Every structure is written in C-alpha cells, then in structure tokens.
Amino acid sequence: MQVGWNTRIVPFGPDISSAVFALGFANRAAMAFGGVQPGDYRKMLMYNKNRIFAFVNALGDVGTEWAVAAAGAVNWGFPTLADTDIPEILPTGICTYEHVVANVPHDEICQRSVEVRGLKINVTEIDIPCSFGPAFEGERVRGADLYCQMGGGKTQCTELVKKAEMSEIEDAKVELVGKDIGDLKEGDTLALGIYIQIAGREFQDDFEPIMERQIHHLINYIQGVMHIGQRDISWVRVSKAAVDKGFTLKDLGVVLHAKFHQDFQKIVDKVQVTLYTNPEDVDKLTERARAEYKTRDERVDTMTDEDVDTFYSCTLCQSFAPSHVCAVSPERTGLCGAYNWMDCKASFEINPTGPNQPIKKGKVLDEVLGRFEGVDEFLKSASKGAHESYNFYSMVNAPMTTCGCCECIAAMLPTCNGVMTVGRDYSGETPSGMKFTTLAGVMGGGASSPGFVGHSKFNITQKKFIVGDGGLLRMVWMPKILKDEIRDRLNARGEELGVKNFADMIADETVGITEDEIMPWLQEKNHPALSMDSLIG
Ligand code: SF4
C-alpha cells in the first residue's frame, strides 16, 4: 500500500513559473492518451476541459505573475479558486463553469474546487451494516419478522425531495431529528419524514419528483427493510434481522446519498438527508410536501391527451409486479400519483435508457375508451406478452394494469350503477365488500382486472377519468378522508359536468359500507349515476 504525500503529489518547484510544468503535464496527457497533435490548441483545450479535472488553488497574495499563470491555466479549461479578494471571472465560457472565484474560505476550498471544476463524486462503498443490492428489492418483511414500522396508515410517513443551492447544503450530511430504532422495542411504530435536498449545476426543479420516486426501490435494496408507497403515504417495515445487524434509520440517508450520486451523477453534485421522527416535525414536513405535490400535479392540469403525440411508459414497479406497465399521458397520471407526464418526460431526459420510455401514440383505435395502437405495441413487448391491449379511460373494459403502489383502487358497484374508489389511507370496509388491502392483493400484481383499476388521487378529477364508463359522475362512494382532501376539485369538476356540489352527492362510510346501505341515500340525493346508461351494458 502506498501512503504519504510523495505518492500523490508531484512538486514542480517553489516559484510560480513552475506552474507551466503542471500545464505541460496536462498537454502530455492530451497528446499521449487523446492523440492531440502538438500545437492543436483547440483540441488541447477540449481534451483537458473534458477529461483532465484539474484546478488551481491560489493561496496568498496574487501578484501579476500569478495572475498570468492563472490566465494560462484557464486556456486549458482549469479554473482558479483563491482565498484572497482578486477580481472574479464568473460567466461560463472556456472553463466548464466559473473561471476565477475569489475569497473562498480554507474550510470550503476543497468542496468549492470540486464543484467549480465540475468534478463528480462517486460513492463506491455504501457503509451500512446490512447487505445491499437489487437482489433484495422484491423482499417482503412479514408479520413474524417485523421489528418496527413507519407509516402504512399506522403513523405518518412522508417523503420530499427539494432542490437546494450549492451553498445551502453539505454533501453526505445525514441528520436524524428524533428517536431512532435503538429507542424502540419490538412491535413499535414511529412517524417518519424523509427530507432530501439536492444541489447540482444541472439539477432542475422538474427532477424533484423523479428523484423522490427512487426512494422506493433504493430503500428496498437494503436487506431486511421493505418500502411501499410514495409521497405522504409511504410505509417502511424493518425486520428483526436488519436490527440485529445494527440497522439504524440513518442508514436510509447513507443509502440515498450514495445511490443518488451513483445513479444520477450527471445532475447531482450534493445530497443532504434529514430524517424526522418526532410527529410534530413529520406533520410540518407533510404539510409542506402536500403543497409541493399539488404544484407538481397542476403542471399538467391544462394539457390534454390530444395535445401530445407521445405518451411515456413507466416500468419502475416491475420489480414487484413483473407484468405491470404504466402508460402515462397528460390526463392519466401514474397510478402511484408520483409520476405525471411531465415527470416521465424529464426522467427520460436524465436517463434515456431508464424505465420511462416515450411511446408514440400511433393510430387511435378507440377514442372513447382510450386505446392507441402505439401503446398496445409497447405494452405487448414491455409486459413480455402478458398483456395485448388496454384502455386508458375505462375500468370496465380492459383497464390498465395495476401494481401494489397505487394511491387508490376503483371498483364497480353494479347495484348503484356507479363506481367507488378507496385510498390507501382508509383501512375500513367498502361497498365492494373488500378493504383496500384485499383489493390491492387481488388485482395489484400487474393484472388488468375488468371492473377494477388502480389510479392516483389526482386522476379522479382529471377530465378523462373513466370517461369511457361515463366519467366522474359515476362516482357514488369514497372514504370521507379522500372526499374531504379533494372536495374542491370534485366540486369544480362536477360543475364543469353540470352538477353543483357534487362532493355532497358522493356517499362515504358515514352513510354506509354496503351497496344496500348507500342506495336510498343516493336516490334521495338524486345522484346522476342512477339515471345514466347501465354500467354493465
Ligand atoms: Fe411508475 Fe406506475 Fe410504478 Fe408509479 S406506479 S412508479 S408510474 S410503474
């Protein structure tokens, strides 16, 4: 093993004139490894700018000779960072980012140099006590193995990714505010808020939901830890085996930091993770997160499926449901609620070979039910032949496939000539005769089950929601918690369809939990579904 300064540092000389030897060294690299010919200054610059991640740290007074040497280094694409007050050259041009940055404190100069030069950090070892990798992604933590859990309807569990300024966060900082696993006993529950801040020269606000959706599979990579759901309906289950190995909640942050750097090197420069377990802190984060989710959802509010000729696939959930294929259009967001058309588009830009591929709509095979030739072709190949075709706007005829991540599941209620939907956060009985968990178990493994469909909360009030079966006015029952959450949007969409105060016409568990119980109430309210064409044809 080689250690010590001499291994890595080549001193060229004590005078500033020696800096020229360092640049000569870079020239040699370009000529030896890049085939650049002597004198071809343009190619020399391009090679060094793109391949040799050097920078100059000017410590102490910068005189004329130093300034000249730094200007020379800039011609190789190498920026200067100084600890003194010298004139800065900030716009991007010859160097990848800034050319000369002044007044950098010593304790920040390494991090700033890495950042200004555009050097990317790669985390090669993920320092957690459990095994880690895609092999553990589909693993379940069942009752007998469970040590503790967060979310899943028992406590609040929320995830939020936000863009941060470079100076605002510290890379690799993982902070836990509140109790950790060591403070719990077997069978306990805990609230959890996972707040991730990401800074990056190329990072855009549009990338936040994409990074947030990665939390699901990355946490599932940890052996003995299971993650379900997303946004403010997440659920983390930790096994006894993981706790025995020494797993703590901070390990979630260690994993997320490392994998975000590894998998999204192009757009990520710094990642800071804060984990909250005090219920008040989690509630505060949840309130903020819900406002963010709303803003994201509304970005596609004015778009229609007819506006675009390309939809996007999402096959992220195939690790749990191998034949499941989400097709995401402007008017049908992903059924987990975490991905809309814009998010899939941005995800494809970041990772052109990833799970979100463009799908040319092609010929419209059925305008009302929402069937497209291009989507069917894609579906056949992406589901490995398990599905031939499905419809975007129907739950009765060949509905889209559903995976276990869906925010809500809608089901037909034939006696009421309508439909109901139930969200993951309602654990009671429903008029379909099944609770959410039973419904998800029955049709959540990637099947297309006529009469049922998984969908996002936001999708309920999108204009194309089950429009092939009569649309939103078919909705006769939903849990009160969901109805109250989207009440304004239900009423607004109802009014567009000619029905005032539509939310007040939808029954909930306080009215009844069977079709027979809610039917007289619907009749009394003169619910529009009762006078529609028969749902079962
Ligand atoms: Fe993608 Fe659909 Fe899974 Fe959401 S539910 S992550 S849109 S495959």
Q: Are 150 and 194 in contact (CB under 8 A)?
A: no
Beta bridge partners of 192: 157
Under 8 Å between Cβ of 420 and 370:
no
335 Cα nearest atom in ligand 1: 5
* Closest approach atom of ligand 1 to CA 356: 1
Task: Determine the 3-state secondary structure of 72 from DSSP.
Answer: helix
317 CA to centre of ligand 1 in angstroms: 6
Q: Does the pTM exceed 0.95?
A: no
Q: Residue 435 burial (CB < 10 Å; 0-12/13-18/19+)?
A: middle
Residue bearing the CA closest to ligand 1, atom 7: 334
Record the tokens describing residue 236, joined without a space. Answer: 């983390």
Helix axes 19-34, 41-51, angle to 10 degrees: 90
pLDDT at 178: 97
Residue among 137, 213, 458 to mutate when testing ligand 1 (max atoms within 8 A of CB): 213
326 CA closest ligand 1 atom index = 2
Distance of CA 425 to the CA centre of its chain: 20
Which residue is it, tokens 């379940």? 140
Gap from CA of 323 to ligand 1 centroid (Å): 12
Strands across the sheet containing 418-423: 452-455, 408-413, 418-423, 475-477
pLDDT of 346 reads 86
Q: Which pLDDT score, from 0 to 100, does residue 289 have?
A: 97
pLDDT-flagged residues of the chain (< 50): none
How many CB atoms neighbour CB 478 within 10 A?
A: 28
Residue 183 three-state SS = helix
- Shortest-distance Cα residue to atom 3 of ligand 1: 317
User: Quick check: 161 and 193 in contact, CB under 8 A?
Assistant: no
- The Cα–Cα gap between 267 and 256 comes to 15
Residue whose structure tokens are 């966060």: 169
Point out the ligand 1 atom lying closest to the alpha carbon of residue 318: 8
Pocket test for ligand 1, best of 220, 314, 318, 387 (most atoms within 8 A of CB): 314
Ligand 1 pocket: which of 212, 405, 408, 456 to mutate (most atoms within 8 A of CB): 405
Residue 137 has what pLDDT?
84
Which residue among 137, 210, 216, 336 is best mutated to probe the pocket of ligand 1, counting the most ligand atoms within 8 A of its Cβ? Answer: 336
Pocket-forming residues, ligand 1, beta carbon under 6 Å:
213, 314, 316-317, 326, 328, 334-336, 338-339, 403, 405
User: Taking a C-beta distance cutoff of 8 angstroms, is the pair 367, 413 a contact?
Assistant: no
Coil/strand/helix, residue 243: helix
* Ligand 1 midpoint to CA 316 (Å): 6
CA–CA distance, 189 with 231 (Å, rounded to integer): 19
| Burial group, residue 152, by CB count within 10 angstroms (0-12, 13-18, 19+) | buried
What is the model's pLDDT at position 430? 97
User: What is the position in ligand 1's atom list of the atom closest to the CA of 338?
Assistant: 4
